[in-house]
A = this chain, B = another copy of it.
Amino acid sequence: GKSLMANSKYEYVKAFEREQHELAGTWLVVRLDGRGFHRFTTQHDFVHPNDIRGLNLMNACARACMEEFKDICLAYGESDEYSFVLSPDTKFFDRRTSKILSVVVSFFTSNYVHLWPQHIVDDQNQPVRLQYPPQFDARVVCYPSLQHLRDYLSWRQADCHINNLYNTTFWALVHSGKTEAEAERVLRGTFSKDKNEILFSQFGINYNNLPAIFRRGSIFIHHSVAEKLVKVGVTSKTDPTPVERVVVRKRHQIDLLHTDLIGDAFWGEHVDVFPV
């Protein structure tokens, strides 16, 4: 009728949408990062430099994304950011940029708020009130080869290491009584070696003994485990004696790791997912 005609008159505006597709045959990375999380973590009294509750919450959101979006083959997270990797042959949303970008960041955020009360709890295990809704930015990046992808993940893991070594030393100095300005001055121009030295000599901290989740970040990866089940039952119509049978079943699970991504070991173990 009239209204349908009216709408068909306006429908031409739909053609102004440009459909952008990510180049076929490339690895896709969706990286998201908390917006203004300096303020957000401060307002919610996150522990310095690493709040394990916050990291666990980030990881729970990433796991939810991997369960929801089966095309994500690996996820890597550190601080307020997460990178989701899709394989070169993914057909997720026909590789439409906006769709991939928006649903991943939307679902991650949705989980962040939804799971907040389970993770961000106080000493009495009571949920900390969320003072304002957080937001994440996101981008999609293409990497043409596995080497590029490995370099990307090495970049993020090296970033995690560098920041964590700095922050650990910085906050050790601050907690020992220095002002933030003093701590900053002490660290200016220092190398890794120097920070390790400060940690060890002044605070008795062996950096390499700190939790791997702080030093290396978090990796999620799919894993198929062969499970043996013992089934008991009759196997023949004529013989009623129950017999035991071992049944092998493949069960899918998502593993959380805090291992090194830079060397070759990890990639050697996962050639099935990341063929050279």
* Bound: A68/B135 CA distance, A: 11
* Bound: A134/B269 CA distance, A: 35
Counting from the closest, the 9 A-B pairs by CB-CB distance are A1-B191, A110-B133, A10-B155, A1-B192, A102-B138, A144-B144, A7-B158, A113-B113, A107-B135
* Bound: A209/B161 CA distance, A: 64
* Bound: A133/B68 CA distance, A: 11
Cβ–Cβ < 8 Å partners of A198 in chain B = none
* Bound: A199/B170 CA distance, A: 68
- Cβ of A101 under 8 Å from chain B: yes
Pair B133/A3 contact, Cβ less than 8 Å: no
Stretch touching chain B among A12-20, A48-56, A173-181: A12-20
Cβ–Cβ < 8 Å partners of A138 in chain B = 98, 101-102, 106
Cβ–Cβ < 8 Å partners of A102 in chain B = 32, 101-102, 105, 136-139
Partner of A98, one of B17, B23, B137, B194: B137
Pair A6/B158 contact, Cβ less than 8 Å: yes
Partner of A158, one of B10, B15, B20, B154: B10
Pair A192/B2 contact, Cβ less than 8 Å: yes
Q: With A3-B161, A98-B139, A105-B102 known to touch, is A133 a contact of B114 (CB < 8 Å)?
A: yes
Q: Which residue of B lies closest to A32 (CB)?
A: B102
Copies in the complex: 4
Chain A residues with CB under 8 Å of chain B are 1-4, 6-7, 10-18, 20-21, 23-26, 32, 35, 64, 68, 88, 98-99, 101-103, 105-114, 130, 133-145, 148, 151-152, 154-155, 158-159, 161-162, 165, 191-194, 262
Pair B88/A107 contact, Cβ less than 8 Å: no
Q: Which of A25, A35, A262 has the most CB of B within 10 A?
A: A25
Cβ–Cβ < 8 Å partners of A6 in chain B = 154, 158, 262
Cβ–Cβ < 8 Å partners of A193 in chain B = 1-2
Q: With A3-B192, A7-B155 known to touch, is A143 a contact of B16 (CB < 8 Å)?
A: yes
* Bound: A192/B1 CA distance, A: 5
Instruction: Write 24 A-B pairs (CB below 8 A) sorted by A numbering.
Output: A3-B162, A3-B165, A4-B191, A4-B192, A6-B262, A7-B159, A13-B148, A13-B151, A13-B155, A15-B24, A16-B142, A18-B21, A23-B23, A25-B144, A25-B148, A32-B102, A98-B138, A102-B136, A102-B137, A103-B135, A106-B108, A107-B133, A110-B113, A110-B133
* Bound: A219/B194 CA distance, A: 58
Q: How far is the CB of A18 from chain B (nearest CB, A)?
A: 7
